[in-house]
A and B are shown apart, each in its own frame.
Chain A
Amino acid sequence: MGQPYLRLAAAALILAAFVLGTAAFLVWFERKLLGRMQVRPGPNRVGPGGLLQPVADILKLTVKEDILPEHADRPLFRLAPLMAFVPAFAAFVVLPFGPGLVSADLNIGLLWILAVSTVSVLALIAAGWASNSKYALLGGMRAAAQMISYEVPLVLSLIGVVLAAGSLRLGRIVAAQAHLWFAVPQVLGFIVYLIAATAESNRSPFDLPEGESELVAGFHTEYSGVRFAFFFLAEYSYVFLAAAIATLAFLGGWSGPFLPPVVWFLVKTYAVIFFIIWLRATLPRIRIDQLLSFGWKVLLPLSLVNIFLVGLFRFI
């Protein structure tokens, strides 16, 4: 009776450690990469190659003063960072790192990730509204418009994968790519997914909700200390999640020769993360109207074409 609960509790602890460690590592990875791409060394003072810089940052954030704006909606202001992080963490529960290496192998795993991660946008609106600041509110509103618009092509691009695999279980989706990665026949869906996922996780060039040149820091302008750290943690969790889904749904998941499956999974995921950071270093931020019309008038039709093609090939 106690056994499954014990297993779940252990899995939750391991996942929590993994998410924290990954977020910290990603911060270093991104800063180092951006530095290299911009011909500067990046963090290099704390620890070997600056590797301990995120640890120092986390320490700093936890001891910083926690500021509550005077006219903020206090309960909501306190709740919003948790609302942002908890769904991100919950999504990790169904993520398979290798065959059988998953906390909970749901038969609708992919849908679970999509459904749970949509809750995060509510947190961004709540944070923007509760801060009672015009910059935060505008950032929250942009987040809402952006995530609603890019959710649609994101889900539709994955429907092609689900159609081809015949299942929403992530393990089955990986197994269906034993002979050919879905990125090859569904290259259109893959491209749409990458763009939409970058926008969903509010990454540059789609980081309008926090566009610092216009909105100070967007929805988390008024946040400091630990609460700010939670938003940060959620954002980096979503970067990893987006790359992990790209790996599982389009790049054959953990399958690959010689190396153990977990290594293959991480290598492919980090390759996608590298690409996402590369985008940030290369492209300037786009305008909100360009963003929305691009989502609805280009990505949405393209994802529909992808579904049509997949359906057509299944018939033939």
Chain B
Amino acid sequence: MILFGILALLALVFAVFMVATRNAVHSALFLIGNFVILAILYITLGAEFLGLAQILVYAGAVMVLFLFVIAYLSAGTEASETGPALAWQLPLGIAAGVLSLGLLLWGTLGAVLTPTAAPPHFGSLAFLGRALFTTYLFPFEITAFLLLAALVGVVVLVRDER
């Protein structure tokens, strides 16, 4: 419980800094810090595979691509040169935050109020694999198909016109 408190606090600190900092590269690195803490939280909850997949995919691959683009575009510019935030962004951001908080509460409040014991080996690789390829096969395949379509779309968009 103490461990959870420390980790949760750290995750929140990283998240706040990620939004508050003016420097895009720092922002991305704070987000990575947040991801790593989240991964440790998963591991403490017995979902080792999920935790390591979180690091491998998000910290190791997705954020590397983010950093790649940000570092290229922001090289040689000072933080103040990036210009003031657009006026309509602030209310929109707050609205999006409140909305996602509401969704999260709506989705998890019931489970929080009436906690039930997790089934044995919940979060293990075998359990996760079985769930993905039986109960959740359809959403899993749909997601895979969507990602494939996005990939093909990108390739088509950047292709040389010859």
Contact = CB atoms under 8 A, between A and B. Distances in A.
A316 B60 CA distance: 36
B13 interface: no
Interface residues of B, number: 26
Contacts of A224: none
Nearest to A120: B60
Given A76-B26, A125-B67, A118 B60 contact: yes
Contact of B67 (A107, A112, A122): A122
A151 B25 contact: no
Given A76-B25, A111-B52, A115-B56, A144 B75 contact: no
Interface of A is mostly: helix
A155 B65 CA distance: 18
Interface residues of A, number: 29
B55 interface: yes
B41 interface: no
Interface of B: 23, 25-26, 29, 32, 36, 48-49, 52-53, 55-56, 59-61, 63-65, 67-68, 71-72, 75-76, 124-125
A106 B61 contact: no
Contacts, number: 77
Contacts of B63: 122
Given A76-B26, A111-B49, A145 B56 contact: no
A112 B56 CA distance: 9
Contact of A148 (B32, B59, B65): B65
Nearest to B36: A119
Given A116-B55, A141-B71, A144-B68, A122 B32 contact: yes
B29 A128 contact: no
Nearest to A133: B75
Given A107-B48, A108-B125, A141-B71, 12 more contacts: A108-B49, A115-B53, A115-B55, A118-B60, A119-B36, A122-B63, A126-B25, A137-B71, A137-B75, A144-B67, A144-B68, A148-B65
B64 to A, nearest CB: 5
Interface string A81-118: 00000000000000000000000001110011011101
